[in-house]
DNA sequence: AACCCTGTGTGTGTTGAATCACAGAAAACT
DNA sequence: AGTTTTCTGTGATTCAACACACACAGGGTT
């Protein structure tokens, strides 16, 4: 299946590999598709593969005993997830769910480990990936503690703008559709409070909200109100 | 200075290196000592080195604008910190402080990067280190969200027991001295609440507290009360 | 000794946010 | 089209945790 190779080839992580290495890896991979809402893996699953998202969108998170969801991250096409399998874990600790119909490439752990051992460049890439995600999560942790729901939400919106923001005539529009419940699950709050706080922010003129759509009217002002640097947008 | 070499040699990360590589690295390092309470590095410092703690104890964390401290981790002798410098950061994001008189070895980033490029084993080790710490912090995040102060504290105590617990006749004693303020800074709470909750737990017979000293009377019971597996103790 | 200074214990407001409980609106199905 | 499900908006109520304010204990230090 040549398209699988295409996905591997276009993954940032594998840019340094030779064509031979790529096809070797490809031969050991398998593909799988998941319907919207279905789990990709569950906590305590055996972690024998790293996954590459080809299409769709996946969320990584967990649940409390009372059924409350926490969202740790969203994965976009071309990104790798479940990579903690490379760090010595044999079990998943988190939960990965396809939020849209998604297709993923499963890369067996041993295949990757073999590649890593012979390819320092790749190992460096993996290290950077780990580091990047760790930095992101440490930042999250630091701004979640001791901060009001409002601050957490504003901070989150700014973070989202960095990845999903697109400048238009009204301001910066978030190109990812998230429900209030999703936002709450990220900042550790409840749907209702998110609704209320968003309403406040709107009536203050800082943003405008539609159904699953948010436009930040004045990103720099918003950023300075919570003492963070103004992010550059990834999208045009 | 031969003792610096000794510290490098006894760091888990560098087990795979040849003597030649070690001495090469050693030649490029510098040592420094920090008195109790002094900062090792600050946010926005230039991150040109990874640090190895030789003696003492260091805490990693951050501050909010209002001066509240969050503690992300404690570093013990033999452990590496500030390693995010290897992941492409040029600036520190966090704050590192010596909580006791500490001596550290500074390893310049370029020296380590050169070693990494030629030594896949080492790269793998760094990856594992990143992964381990990331797992730890993701777990923290997941249990901080949506949980009461009490649950967070209990969870923390169990986590501490895993690293610092020593079995004695009374139960499991935590061999790290932490003030209530410290505990609060880790779980994102206040000193007073921690005092109260600890008091409750004591009067329930689950633990006994002394000045900067905590003994968990029944670790398995405590663990099951928050639905986590009973940890194995690192110390005898 | 007397003195600090850092921890700890407790009580009393005050409040932000969770919970509960609906109602209307838009999307997704069939 | 109509029906169902998922979202959103809003209020009333309750409660956990914070802030503030002291009092006291223990360890050091001089």
Q: Which of residues 170-229 of A touch strand D (CB under 7 A)?
A: 179-181, 191-192, 195-196, 198-199, 209, 211-212
Is the C-beta atom of B195 closer than 7 angstroms to strand C?
yes
Q: Which residue reads 């419940």 in tokens?
A: A181
String of b and e for B34-59 (b: at least 16 CB within 10 Å)? beeeeebbeeebebebbbbbbebbbb
Q: In 3D, which of B109, B115, B105 has the Cα closest to residue B17?
A: B115
Q: Is B127 on the interface with A (CB under 8 A)?
A: yes
Q: A135, B227: Cβ pair inside 8 Å?
A: no
Q: Which residues on chain B are in Cβ contact (under 8 Å) with A118?
A: 120
Three-state SS at A177: coil
Q: What is the spatial distance between Cα A75 and Cα A52, in angstroms, rounded to a whole number?
A: 9
Q: In 3D, which of A115, A96, A99, A116 has the Cα closest to residue A47?
A: A96
Q: Is B144 on the interface with A (CB under 8 A)?
A: yes
Q: In 3D, which of B125, B37, B135, B57 has the Cα closest to residue B86?
A: B125
pLDDT at res. B236: 63
Residues (pLDDT < 70) of chain A are 1-2, 236
* pLDDT digit string, tens, across residues A35-91: 888 999 999 999 999 999 999 999 999 999 888 999 999 999 999 999 999 988 899
Q: Is B79 on the interface with A (CB under 8 A)?
A: no
String of b and e for B96-114 (b: at least 16 CB within 10 Å)? bbbbeebbbbbbbbebbee
pTM of this structure: 0.94
Torsion of CA B117, B121, B127, B133, to 10 degrees: -130
Nucleotide nearest to A181 (CA to C1'): D7
D25 C1': nearest CA residue: B211
- Sequence-distant (6+) residues with CB within 8 A of B10 are B78
A91 beta partners: A46
The CB-side HSE value for A233 (13 A sphere, CA atoms) comes to: 17
Which residue from B minimizes the CA distance to A131? B87
Count Cβ–Cβ pairs < 8 Å, chain A vs chain B. 136
How many of the other CB atoms lie within 10 Å of CB of B206? 19
Q: Is A139 on the interface with B (CB under 8 A)?
A: yes
CA distance, residue B216 to nearest chain A CA (Å): 24
Work out the burial of residue A229: count CB atoms within 10 Å of its CB; fewer than 13 is exposed, 13-18 middle, 19 or more buried.
Answer: exposed
- pLDDT per residue, tens digit, chain B (236 aa), is 568 999 999 999 999 899 999 999 999 999 999 999 999 999 999 999 999 999 999 999 999 988 899 999 999 999 999 999 998 889 999 999 999 999 999 999 999 999 988 888 888 889 889 999 999 999 999 999 999 999 999 999 999 999 999 999 889 999 999 999 999 999 999 999 999 999 999 999 999 998 888 999 999 999 999 999 999 998 76
pLDDT at res. A89: 83
pLDDT at res. B59: 96
- Contact call for residues B47 and B86 (beta carbons, < 8 A): no
Q: Which of residues 154-193 of B touch strand C (CB under 7 A)?
A: 179-181, 191-192
Q: Is A123 on the interface with B (CB under 8 A)?
A: yes
**How long is chain A?**
236
Q: What is the spatial distance between Cα A110 and Cα A116, in angstroms, rounded to a whole number?
A: 10
């Amino acid at each position: 299946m040549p398209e699988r190779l295409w996905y591997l080839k276009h993954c940032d992580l594998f840019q340094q590999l030779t064509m031979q290495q790529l096809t070797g890896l490809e031969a050991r991979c398998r593909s799988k598709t998941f319907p919207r809402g279905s789990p990709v893996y569950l906590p305590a699953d055996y972690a024998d593969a790293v996954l590459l998202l080809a299409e769709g969108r996946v969320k990584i998170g967990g649940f409390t005993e009372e059924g409350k969801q926490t969202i740790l991250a969203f994965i976009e096409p071309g990104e790798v997830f479940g990579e903690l399998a490379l760090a010595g874990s044999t079990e998943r600790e988190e939960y990965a769910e396809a939020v849209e119909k998604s297709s993923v490439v499963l890369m067996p752990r041993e295949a990757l480990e073999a590649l890593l051992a012979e390819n320092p460049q790749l190992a460096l890439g993996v290290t950077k990936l780990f580091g990047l995600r760790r930095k992101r999560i440490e930042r999250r942790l630091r701004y979640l503690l001791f901060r009001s729901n409002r601050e957490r939400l504003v901070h989150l919106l700014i973070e989202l703008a960095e990845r999903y923001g697109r400048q238009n005539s009204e301001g910066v529009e978030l190109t990812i559709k998230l429900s209030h419940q999703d936002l709450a699950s990220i900042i550790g709050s409840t749907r209702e409070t998110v609704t209320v706080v968003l309403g406040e922010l709107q009536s203050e003129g800082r943003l405008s909200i539609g159904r699953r759509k948010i436009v930040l009217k004045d990103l720099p002002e918003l950023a300075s109100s919570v003492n963070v640097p103004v992010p550059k947008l990834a999208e045009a």
